[in-house]
């Protein structure tokens, strides 16, 4: 009976483990939700022409200013190494980004580039080979007006929402402490 129970528990862990692990993955783009527009470039290597052209274009001060004006944040994944704004991401965050943007084998012909709006909606940017910054800026400018109007709540607004009383005019009452549980009864043989 013990062997059956252990076998069942092992099989349950094998089957249910990935389901629970998938829900616990970090969501790196949640940091930018309602604040910035992530631009994700997933390249097979650092020598990819799309990624190299984009990095070279961002060295130009005018392009960088236009990039920042539109609240764009560059996430680049080359091979298995991820970066956010030029700073390395840890392996777990990089893998979470790769899993979040599952691409098929047909998508690997051209380096996939995804623009994520402030509201979290994904927009694929179509390109052939290299990607010009103008195509990115046109994609941002073509976003709906509702997405452009999104403003992240300030820290003061978040604190105020957390401390707002339950009813108008009356302060919220503190919760009563729970009663302690009675001691367990001894087992009888």
Each residue of 37-71: pLDDT tens digit?
A: 899 988 888 888 888 888 899 899 999 999 999 88
Poorest-confidence range of 19-23, 148-152, 174-178?
A: 19-23
Whether 63 and 133 have beta carbons less than 8 Å apart is answered as: yes
pLDDT digits (tens, 9 = 90+) for 116-160: 888 888 888 887 777 888 888 888 888 887 766 777 666 666 566
Dihedral angle, C-alpha 55, 59, 60, 66, nearest 10 °: 70
pTM above 0.75, yes or no: no
181 vs 160: which has the higher pLDDT = 181
Q: Tell me whether strands 37-43 and 72-78 are parallel, antiparallel or unpaired.
A: parallel
Query: Which residues share a beta bridge with 42?
Result: 77
């Amino acid at each position: 009976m013990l062997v059956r129970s252990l076998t069942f528990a092992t099989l349950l862990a094998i089957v249910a483990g990935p389901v629970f692990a998938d829900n616990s993955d970090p969501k790196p783009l949640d940091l930018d939700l309602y604040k910035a527009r992530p631009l994700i470039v997933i390249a097979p290597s650092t020598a990819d022409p799309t990624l190299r052209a984009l990095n070279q274009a961002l060295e130009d001060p005018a392009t960088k200013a236009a990039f920042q004006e539109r609240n764009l944040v560059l996430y680049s994944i080359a091979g298995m190494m991820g970066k956010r704004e030029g700073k390395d991401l840890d392996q777990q965050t990089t893998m979470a980004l790769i899993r979040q943007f599952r691409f098929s084998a047909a998508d690997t012909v051209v380096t996939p580039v995804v623009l994520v709006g402030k509201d979290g909606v994904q927009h694929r940017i179509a390109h052939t080979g290299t990607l010009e910054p103008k195509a990115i800026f046109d994609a941002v400018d073509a976003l709906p007006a509702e997405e452009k109007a999104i403003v992240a709540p300030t820290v003061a607004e978040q604190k105020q929402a957390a401390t707002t009383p339950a009813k108008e005019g009356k302060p919220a009452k503190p919760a009563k402490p729970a009663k302690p549980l009675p001691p367990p009864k001894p087992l009888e043989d």
